[in-house]
Amino acid sequence: MSVPRVPSAPKTCTAVWEQCLAYIKTQVDPQSFATWFAPIVPYRYDKQVLTIQVPTKFFYEWIEEHYFDLISKVLRDYVGPGGRLEYTILATSHTPANPVAPVPPKKTKLPKLPGLKDHFTPLHPLYTLDNLVEGDCNRLACVAAQAIIKKPGTTPFNPMILYTDNLVGLGKTHIAQAIVHGIREAYPLKKVVYIPANSFTSQFIDALRHNVLQDFIDYYMGVDALVMDDVQFLAGKEKTQELFFNLFNHLHQLDRQIVIVSDRKPRELVGLQERLLSRFKWGLTVSLEVPDFETRVAIIRKKLAQSQLKLAEELVEYLASGIETNVRDIEGVITSLAAHGVLQQAKIDLALIHQVLDDIDTRVPNEVSLDYIQKTVAAHCKVSVRDLTSKSRKRELVVARQIAIYFTKQHTDYSLKRIGQHFGGRDHSTIVYAIQSVQDRLATDRGFKATVEELKRMINRNIAPRSRGIVVDERK
Ligand code: ADP
Ligand code: MG
């Protein structure tokens, strides 16, 4: 559709702009028109150059990117081939003041959006760096977080992209919020915003619906640090991504800190625009890994202390070996243990732990590792894994060790030699002897058989609610 020519070119900037608008209105949807064109003020018209005043730099960038061709075309059609478009930006707190433009008051609050309940995502008070156990799994992320808290925006970690490889419950949100807590504490005057991507999207939609988009944009453009959690939820949300892309550029240009959290590798963020992903590479991309055994033990100790629970060391180790992939599950178990302990005045023993583990179903199915067998047997027999692999020949140790060897032979495909190596460097004949001894005793000793069967159920995770065998008491 071509633009109807007017017989004589209008003289004033208002007239030029109004004619342009009349045509633009036929070309864009009403929502976009109200959002992006209604706020524009014609500013000057001189020698075929039309200057329009836009509220913010972000606005300017948006118009340039999305409507430049349209406006240029309509302008050329009206005023001739020499028609050109220029902008002037109404000053905000972050753009240099235009001497002739009034300065709007700085917005510090999200606009009131009727119908939008939670404008602000409250932070978890315990998600601080102090409460985070550091290990190899998260060391780099912790170092970066500390640096960002010290000098938000001006470290090489801007943006910081924090991700896990398709895993949840490893502390991404914890670290993201710790950064917010940290900056707020170090710089009480800075405006630091934590927002999950899906809340950001709903705010955007609500702002559009209630015609306060500019307030929404101003609010986010005015932050000193923006922490966006679960960015994968922006996938496929084209409009939100466009807005976020411009916001990202604006903040980054001004050295405002940006932290982005993703539950998958950035390059696996299908549905996110390439240009956004390429921005993510400007800073630090760091992943969180599954915590190793020692770190899990430290996390459990910390959570126990927070819940004022006491647990024998072998049970702590047992728990740490039972929950391998997810720190949130560790918390779930401790919360359940605390509840059982308080509500039923139950003694926290191995059987109770098993019951709770079974309820939560945490372990990777069908995978009985040597490590797991050693820890289960050690915890059940009130000895330590170190005892099992030691040279000691104390009778109760020898029995526990033989049982563990017996289960290792049953549940793993380790050779006898390899099993020997894992049990204190014993030779192959000792392993054969151990397995034989257990088999012999199973045939003759009913008490022993009961214990072994109990353990077998535990190892297979088909444990009865209460242990009839050796009960490991809570250590006071
Ligand atoms: P994600 O966002 O990766 O899914 P979260 O940050 O929600 O995981 O973490 C799940 C739970 O595990 C949180 O309660 C968090 O406090 C806890 N957590 C994770 N990692 C650690 C750690 N290293 N030390 C202490 N607590 C942790
Ligand atoms: Mg999270």
pLDDT at 49 over 90: no
What is the rounded distance in angstroms from the CA atom of residue 142 to the CA atom of residue 83? 55
The model's confidence at residue 31, banded by pLDDT at 50, 70 and 90, is confident
How crowded is residue 94: how many other Cβ atoms within 10 Å of its Cβ? Answer: 17
- DSSP-derived 3-state class of residue 287: strand
* pLDDT score of 439: 92
The model's confidence at residue 91, banded by pLDDT at 50, 70 and 90, is low
Lowest mean pLDDT among 101-110, 286-295, 455-464: 101-110
pLDDT mean over 16-36: 85
Q: Which residues contact 285 (CB under 8 A, 6 or more apart)?
A: 161, 163, 266
Amino acid at 185: E
Task: For residue 168, report the distance from its CA to the centre of ligand 2, in Å.
Answer: 7
* pLDDT score of 361: 59
Sheet holding 84-89, edge to edge: 41-46, 49-54, 84-89
pLDDT at 448 over 50: yes
pLDDT at 465 over 70: no
The model's confidence at residue 369, banded by pLDDT at 50, 70 and 90, is confident
The model's confidence at residue 250, banded by pLDDT at 50, 70 and 90, is very high
pLDDT at 210 over 60: yes
Contact 259, 226 (CB under 8 A): yes
pLDDT mean over 114-127: 68
* Ligand 1 atom having least distance to the Cα of 175: 6
- List C-alpha distances in Å: 45 to 6, 89, 120, 474: 17, 16, 43, 84
pLDDT at 106 over 50: no
Question: Rounded to 5 degrees, what angle do the CA atoms 450, 453, 456 make?
Answer: 155
Q: Ligand 1, residues 170, 296, 301: which to mutate, most atoms within 8 A of Cβ?
A: 170
Task: For residue 68, report the distance from its CA to the centre of ligand 2, in Å.
Answer: 39
* pLDDT score of 141: 96
pLDDT at 363 over 60: no
Contact 263, 163 (CB under 8 A): yes
Give yes or no for residue 173 CB within 6 A of ligand 1: yes
* pLDDT score of 130: 95
Task: Identify the nearest ligand to the CA of 233 by its number.
Answer: 2
pLDDT mean over 21-39: 84
Lowest mean pLDDT among 126-135, 209-218, 220-229: 209-218
* pLDDT score of 107: 41
What is the rounded distance in angstroms from the CA atom of residue 76 to the CA atom of residue 69? 11
Task: For residue 295, report the distance from its CA to the centre of ligand 1, in Å.
Answer: 12
DSSP for residue 33: I
pLDDT mean over 329-346: 79
Q: What is the mean pLDDT of the chain?
A: 82
Task: For residue 230, report the distance from its CA to the centre of ligand 2, in Å.
Answer: 7
DSSP for residue 404: H
Contact 401, 423 (CB under 8 A): yes
Task: Identify the nearest ligand to the CA of 177 by its number.
Answer: 1
pLDDT mean over 338-359: 76
pLDDT mean over 24-35: 83
Most confident option among 288-297, 354-363, 454-463: 288-297
Residue nearest to atom 20 of ligand 1 (CA): 171
Residue nearest to atom 5 of ligand 1 (CA): 171
Q: Ligand 1, residues 124, 143, 165, 174: which to mutate, most atoms within 8 A of Cβ?
A: 174
pLDDT at 97 over 90: no
Give yes or no for residue 123 CB within 6 A of ligand 1: no
* Ligand 1 atom having least distance to the Cα of 330: 12
* pLDDT score of 109: 57
The model's confidence at residue 99, banded by pLDDT at 50, 70 and 90, is very low
Lowest mean pLDDT among 28-42, 103-117, 257-271, 340-354: 103-117
* pLDDT score of 111: 59
Query: Can you name the residues that pair with 85 across neighbouring β-strands?
Result: 50
Contact 81, 73 (CB under 8 A): no
* pLDDT score of 377: 92
* Ligand 1 atom having least distance to the Cα of 298: 24
Give yes or no for residue 212 CB within 6 A of ligand 1: no
* pLDDT score of 6: 46
* pLDDT score of 27: 87
pLDDT at 475 over 90: no
The model's confidence at residue 119, banded by pLDDT at 50, 70 and 90, is low
Residue nearest to atom 10 of ligand 1 (CA): 169
Residues 132-167 have pLDDT tens digits of 999 999 999 999 999 999 999 999 999 999 999 888
* pLDDT score of 399: 94
pLDDT mean over 114-136: 79
